[in-house]
Amino acid sequence: LTTLLSWGTPLLAAEAKVNLTTRSRIIAAVAAIFFFVLVLDLIRRRKLQERYTVVWFILAVGLLAGGVFPQLLETLANILGVRDTNAALFALLLLLLLALAFESTITASRQGEQITRLAQENALLKLREADRKTGAAAEDDES
């Protein structure tokens, strides 16, 4: 019960904690900046639609923030009850990727429906066009 009541405070405070090393922080920050530039460049070259970029910007900003302010990740690790900040980072990334994959499936479903609709309308249009042509040809024959 006491452990439940102390929710929010580190559960394993007594144990030694593993924090991010300076090197991993620098790598994260550099990767974030690189990624940021990449996304901007893809938008500039019209290879990526703006509406799909929000989440990627959030990812880049999050990565940068994690590198610059390691306390953020440490707080997160505490909330999750993880001793190793790196593990917290991985957990966060995994969740984010899961969310992204899920979002893609939703998009794919919507687009599948749209494609079906297009295919059906295409089939009916072509049929109507063919019937119109044969109808016109029949009239020509009569006259």
Partner 1 sequence: MLASSRDQQSQTLIFLPAWNEGESITTVIADVQAELPEATILVVDDGSHDDTVDAARQAGAEVAVLPFHIGLGAALQTGYRYAQENGFKYFAHLDSDGQHPPNQLMRILEPTWTNSADLVLGSRFTQEGDTPGSEFRSSPLRRVWIHILARLVTGIHGQRFTDITSGFRAGNHRAIDLFTQIYQPDFGEIEAVQTALARRLRVKEVPVVMLRRELGESYLTALPSIRFMFKAFLNLMVGRFRGTAH
**Max intra-chain CA distance, the chain:** 100
For residue 73, report the phi and psi dihedrals to the nearest 5 degrees. -70, -35
Tell me: does residue 108 bind partner 1 (CB under 8 A): no
**Distance set, CA 91 to CA 65, 76, 100, 128, 141 (Å):** 16, 10, 14, 55, 74
List the beta bridge partners of residue 84.
18
Applying CB under 8 A, the site for partner 1 has a residue count of 12
54-68 and 70-80 helices, crossing angle to 10°: 100
Q: In terms of CB distance, is 41 or 113 closer to partner 1?
A: 113
Residue with tokens 């440490």: 74
What string marks each residue from 53 to 92 as x (binds partner 1 by CB under 8 A) or -? ----------------------------------------
Smallest distance from the beta carbon of 131 to partner 1, in angstroms? Answer: 7
What string marks each residue from 112 to 141 as x (binds partner 1 by CB under 8 A) or -? xx--x--xxxxxx-xx---x----------
Q: In terms of CB distance, is 21 or 109 closer to partner 1?
A: 109
Binding site for partner 1 (CB under 8 A): 112-113, 116, 119-124, 126-127, 131
